[in-house]
Amino acid sequence: MQKNRIDIVYATYPGLINLYLGNHINYKYGKPWIAEFRDIGEQRYYHSLCPKHINRAVRLEQHLVNSASMIVTVTSTITKILEGRHSQQIEIIYKMDLNTTILTKLI
């Protein structure tokens, strides 16, 4: 971070550690970050968890993503689910067509 000029951090989920690192870098260095959701627990593995663990996983996600400058998803289904959880702007990016206008707003 000190040797390279980093303007923004892009953290992809699944991989809760990625969201954690995006949140941590924002906290420590003040860098804006984007939380990208390619998948969410409801579509992958929540069916195998009890309601208590599902609620815990959702709360952890909400806590980590709270400091994100933007949320990016790859489907409208994921967008609808996340809109109920988060107050940040949510963008849908198809086929990783990351619009430079989106990033320019954050830098």
Whether 80 is covered by a domain: the verdict is yes
Whether 2 is covered by a domain: the verdict is no
What's the mean pLDDT in 71-96? 86
DSSP secondary structure letter of residue 45: T
36 membership: H or E segment, kind and range: strand 33-37
Whether 83 is covered by a domain: the verdict is yes
Single-letter residue type at 74? V
pTM of the model: 0.77
Q: Are 102 and 90 in contact (CB under 8 A)?
A: no
Q: Note the pLDDT tens digit of each residue in 4-39.
A: 888 899 999 888 889 999 999 999 999 999 999 888
Q: Report the relative pairing of strands 90-92 and 70-73 from DSSP bridges.
A: parallel
Q: Which residue range(s) make up the domain with 62?
A: 9-106
Q: Which of 94, 59, 86 is nearest to 70 (CA)?
A: 86
What's the mean pLDDT in 71-82? 89
Ranges of H-type helices in 5-50: 16-29, 41-44
Whether 43 is covered by a domain: the verdict is yes
Whether 87 is covered by a domain: the verdict is yes
Q: What's the structural domain count of the chain?
A: 1
As a residue count, the chain comes to: 107
DSSP secondary structure letter of residue 66: T
Is residue 74's pLDDT more than 70?
Answer: yes
